Amino acid sequence: MEEEKQDIQFSIEARELTKMYVNFTAVDELDLRIERGEIYGLLGPNGAGKTTTIKMLCGLLKPTSGEARLLDRTLPDRGVASMLGYMPQDTAIYPGITVHQNIQFFGQVFGLGKNEIAERERELLEFIDLEKWRDVVVAKLSGGMMHRVSLACSLIHRPPLLFLDEPTVGVDPELRASFWEYFEELEREGTTILITTHYMDEASHCDRVGFMRDGRLIAEGRPGEILEMSGTTSLEDAFLTYSRRSSER
């Protein structure tokens, strides 16, 4: 074990992470290990516990039991917040102020200096292709543009670890493709990304995927491995196969 830890650095390590509510268990003894610099896709239907998992990892929800380590720090650890990028499911930016003001706000929240914010903002606006919209009030943007601004806001501080909660829901196919280009570019820069989605076809972009159902991980592996193990040709069929197997058990 010790040797392995030195060889492979994990950005995220969760052990028996559990979130119980009065009536049900949202996340059930989840074990998760995500290597530094990989894109890990958490796949599953609505209500599988994906968002709850991300919220626990971001420190937004207290786990009922279990343990989580992010970037070698055991949660809860306030210090880790400055190294996380979190793009919530909701667009979660301020509609009444401009694109620039939103980006600036999050830059200041992460304690960046004025010049740093300005420089980073230029890069990000180019990255999300919204340079012309910098001084437009967010409420006037289209849904897809807002999503891109939201992504920029979670990248302002160059986080080494990025949580993306269904970043592509309600996003048109063209934009989805360009989002994945962004994510792969970030990966090349060394960012670890945990992404949730219920679009199975997107999972092929991930280094590894985990299928989640009823709060548990029912299968995990490289997309190719998963297809092989399940004997199916699409991840969608693979998920259904695993899903059936787990409910039979």
Residues at the interface with other proteins (CB under 8 A): 55, 58-62, 78, 81-82, 84, 86, 88-95, 106, 109-111, 153-154, 163
Strands (DSSP E) found in the chain = 10-20, 25-35, 39-43, 65-70, 73-74, 84-87, 161-165, 192-197, 208-213, 216-221
Residue 168 or residue 243: which is nearer to other proteins going by CB? 168
CB of 91 to other proteins, least distance (A): 7
> In the structure encoding, which two tokens stand for residue 177, read together?
């493709």
Residue 152 or residue 235: which is nearer to other proteins going by CB? 152
CB of 64 to other proteins, least distance (A): 10
d(CA 161, CA 18): 22
CB of 179 to other proteins, least distance (A): 18
Residue 9 or residue 82: which is nearer to other proteins going by CB? 82
Residue 79 or residue 224: which is nearer to other proteins going by CB? 79
What is the side-by-side order of every strand in the sheet holding 161-165? Answer: 84-87, 161-165, 192-197, 39-43, 208-213, 216-221
CB of 95 to other proteins, least distance (A): 8
The Cβ of residue 21 has, within 10 Å, a number of other Cβ atoms equal to 9
Which residue's structure tokens are 């290990």?
33
